[in-house]
Amino acid sequence: MITQQQPTQGKVSSFADQLTAVGIRIQEDKPLPGMTAQLKLRSKDWGFAAKVAAQNKLRWSAVWGDHRPPKIIIRALLFGVDGHLLLQTEVTEGSPELPSQAEFFIVASRPERYLQDMFGVRFQEKKDNRRWIRHQAWLETDFPLRQTFPVAGNPVENTKPDNNYPFPAVDGEGVYQIPVGPVHAGIIEPGHFRFQAMGENILRLEERLGYVHKGIEKIAVGRDLDGLIRLAGRVSGDSTVTHSWAACQAIERALEINLPPRALSLRAILSERERIANHLGDIGAICNDVGFSFAQYQMSRLRELWQRQNQLIFGHRLLMDLFVPGGVSVDLSKDDILNLQLEIEQLRPEVEELLPLLLECPSLQDRLRDYAFLTTADAQRLGAVGYVGRASNLQDDLRRDAPYAPYDQLDVKVPAFSEGDLIKRMRVRGEEILISLDLLSKLLKQLPEGSLSVDYSLPGREVEGVGLVEGWRGETLAYLRLDDQGKVLRYFPRDPSWLTWQALEMMLDGVIVPDFPVCNKSVNGSYSGHDL
């Protein structure tokens, strides 16, 4: 296992000088709280700036739009060894054209297609301009995230069937297609997977998502801050703590709110509990998909006990609706702390006993080791985060590398491996469970006294902020712009699944069709977190 930081990335603090050196005109703005820098660019330089960023080995993180008639503001987020950088440009709503960044960061392709569908931004010389999110629910000339588009849309009695999506085909004798979904057996959310295969061997996979687009960004507009946090907690139900914290952090940075230490520690306790529950479930599900039902039973049992404790102490199995702007809405008594510490003491030996068994079981190793590789090079091309990136030795963890309170007072270890195979994606989860148990022990033992929240004032002017939290899937973003009365003008959440879904397509070289489910489980992207 590799645990030290690998200095493979460049610095965002020197990026402005690099752009200037190649003739790109920039305007340096005061960075938003939590950002190292913020640079304004001319729209014609948008693509070339991405080329310089890629050469400097910065990680591309997100892109989003903000309609401020008659302009559309476009922002991209980059990450380096010294923090986060915002790039900003603008286009007119009458001629919204922009060079693509996907040539230099392939993971930017689908977010750019999302901007195309939702704002009408056209990306010049882009290889893939297929519709991504609309699925015939509205016209190609309708752009739902423009201010003039109604919240309810323009519904028709029946949406046209979406049966003409141009999936590229692989030509060759004996090659055939397998369409899977969007409706699946079981209770998972809808997503379509189109396989090109020869015999049992997968030659190519392409995903199509966006079937459960919920309109979260649109219905956020006009909400008060409490209402926004309730909405943020429902971006992806298995990450309710993560998205709530990211949105709260964006609010608190925008309004310059300093939280009480007890509230910050309680937030971290909730976050680590969410991480442990999901990793337990994922390990069991991965093993179950190769017929190792013993592990599924044991991990499901441990997860169930963990979530029952959530219900007993915090009032919700998934820890939903426990965050409020300026703090938290739940406290721990001395008895609660003792019960949580006892639970940690009970869970740790079980996990420590089970993990070596799973990692040494020959039949399980035969199915999971040296299989479904995501190479370090491909992971870097994608900017993979969380356990997907760490299994391929991309070690970014905001709790350590861009620390926010209370993690800036904790020693956060980051497990990583160089192999990038399926077993390592499972093993990272196991290591993170044990690390989170250590963090929980320290947080509970050192839980500060004090209040759970602070009062805050309405801004009196338009403000904006960015929240960045290390969720159990990885780096999670929330951008927020508020009016002078604290009502939401723009909310954009970016789930880490946007950066890992494409990894699933890359790791299928040499994989057979029956093993696709376990590869999918090893990534476990969120449909809901993607389908805003």
Per-residue confidence (pLDDT) for residue 165, from 0 to 100:
87
142 in a structural domain: no
pLDDT at residue 420 greater than cutoff 60: yes
Quick one: pLDDT at residue 367? 87
Q: Percent of the chain, pLDDT > 90? A: 77
Is residue 219 within 8 Å of residue 151, measured between CB atoms?
yes
**Per-residue confidence at 7, pLDDT binned at 50, 70, 90?**
low
Coil, strand or helix: which one is 467?
strand
* Same domain membership, residue 224 and residue 110: no
**Is 164 inside a domain boundary?**
no
In a domain, 513, yes or no: yes
Buried residues in 72-91 as b, exposed as e (16+ CB within 10 A) = bbbbbbbbbbbbbbbbbbbb
Tell me the average pLDDT across 232-241: 96
Q: Average pLDDT of 425-454?
A: 96
Pairing of strands 327-328, 122-124: unpaired
Residues 413, 309 within the same domain: yes
Q: Distance between CA 245 and CA 267 in Å, rounded?
A: 8
- pLDDT tens sequence across 327-354: 999 999 999 999 999 999 999 999 999 9
Residue 26 lies in a domain: yes
Residue 189 pLDDT > 90: no
What digits encode the pLDDT tens for the residues 290-322? 999 999 999 999 999 999 999 999 999 999 999
| 161 found inside a domain | no
Fill in the amino acid letter for 371. Y
CATH number (domain holding residue 414): 1.10.645.10
CA distances from 360 to 185, 356, 365 (A): 32, 6, 7
**In one letter, which amino acid is 379?**
A
In the prediction, which pLDDT does 456 show?
Answer: 92
Q: State residue 315's pLDDT score.
A: 95
Domain boundary (124, 158, 174) is at: 124
**For 255-331, where are the E strands, in sequence order?**
323-324, 327-328
Look at residue 1 in the predicted model and tell me its pLDDT.
Answer: 67
CA-nearest of 91, 65, 87, 92 to 76 is 87
Q: Are residues 337 and 438 in the same domain?
A: yes
Burial zone of 532 (CB within 10 Å; 0-12 exposed, 13-18 middle, 19+ buried): buried
Of residues 272, 418, 293, the one with CA closest to residue 358: 293
Distance from C-alpha of 347 to C-alpha of 326, rounded to nearest angstrom: 32
The reply to whether 221 and 116 lie within a common domain is no
Range of the structural domain that residue 56 is part of: 15-124
Supply the pLDDT for residue 360: 84
In angstroms and rounded to an integer, the radius of gyration of the C-alpha atoms of the chain is: 23
Angle at 412 between CA 410 and CA 416, to 5 degrees: 175
Could you tell me the pLDDT band of residue 6, with boundaries at 50, 70 and 90?
A: low
Taking only the tens place, the pLDDT of each residue in 86-109 is: 999 999 999 999 999 999 999 999
Average pLDDT over residues 406-435: 95
> Which candidate, 412, 271, 434, 425, places its Cα nearest to that of 348?
434
Q: Please, are residues 206 and 505 in contact by the beta-carbon 8 Å criterion?
A: yes
Residue whose pair of structure tokens reads 């489980």 in the numeric block: 521
The verdict on 225 and 99 lying in the same domain is no
332 alpha carbon, distance to own chain's centre = 29
Asked which of 64, 97, 124 is the last residue of a domain, the reply is 124
Please state the rounded mean pLDDT for residues 417-442. 95
What is the rounded (10 degree) CA torsion for 297, 301, 307, 312? 150
User: Which distant-in-sequence residues (6+ apart) come within 8 Å of 274 by Cβ?
Assistant: 238, 239, 240, 241, 242, 318, 319, 471, 472
| pLDDT of 509 | 84
Residue 77 and residue 225 in one domain: no
Q: How confident is the model over 192-215, as a mean pLDDT?
A: 91
* Distance (Å, whole) CA 122 – CA 143: 12
Amino acid identity for residue 418 in this structure: S
CB 190 within 8 A of CB 212: yes
Contact indicator for 507, 392 with CB cutoff of 8 Å: no
In a domain, 304, yes or no: yes
Q: Is residue 114 domain-shared with residue 220, that is, in the same domain?
A: no
Q: Are residues 226 and 82 in the same domain?
A: no
Q: Give the model confidence (pLDDT) of 151-175 as tens digits.
A: 888 877 777 777 888 888 888 888 9
- The total number of structural domains in the chain stands at 2
> Pick from 457, 467, 34, 526: which is nearest to 249 by CA?
467
Give the integer Cα–Cα distance in Å for 401 and 36. Answer: 13
The secondary structure of residue 258, as a DSSP letter, is P
Q: What is the pTM of this model?
A: 0.94
Going 184 to 187 to 190 to 194, the CA torsion angle's sign is negative
Q: What is the pLDDT of residues 453-473, one digit of tens each?
A: 999 998 899 999 999 999 999
pLDDT given at position 256: 94
Q: Which CATH number belongs to the domain containing residue 88 in this structure?
A: 3.30.460.80
Collapse the DSSP code of 87 into the 3-class scheme (helix H, G, I; strand E, B; otherwise coil) and give the result.
strand
Strands (E), 377-496: 463-471, 474-482, 488-494
Q: What's the mean pLDDT in 131-139?
A: 84
Give the three-class secondary structure for 138: coil
For residue range 254-270, list pLDDT tens digits in order.
Answer: 999 999 999 999 999 99
* Mean predicted lDDT score pLDDT of the chain: 92
Q: Do 97 and 222 sit in the same domain of this protein?
A: no
The answer to the question of residue 370 being in a domain is yes
| Shared domain check, 508 and 407 | yes
Domain for residue 166, yes or no?
Answer: no
Which of 323, 244, 141, 295 is CA-nearest to residue 495? 244
For residue 3, pLDDT over 70 is answered with no
Distance CA 65, CA 146 (A): 10
4 pLDDT above the threshold of 60: no
Quick check: 518 pLDDT over 60?
Answer: yes
Q: 491-522 as b/e, with b when 16 or more CB fall inside 10 Å?
A: bbbbbbbbbbbbbbebbbeebebebbebbbbb
Pick from 124, 140, 158: which residue ends a domain?
Answer: 124
Provide the percentage of residues in the chain whose pLDDT is more than 70: 98
Residues 94 and 228 in one domain: no
User: What contacts 400, CB < 8 A, 6 or more positions away?
Assistant: 5, 407, 412, 413, 414
Q: What is the DSSP string of 165-209?
A: -------STTEEEEEE-SS-SSSPPP-EEEEEEETTEEEEEEEE-
Please check whether residues 251 and 106 belong to one and the same domain. Answer: no
Rounded to whole angstroms, the Cα distance separating 512 from 372 reads 10
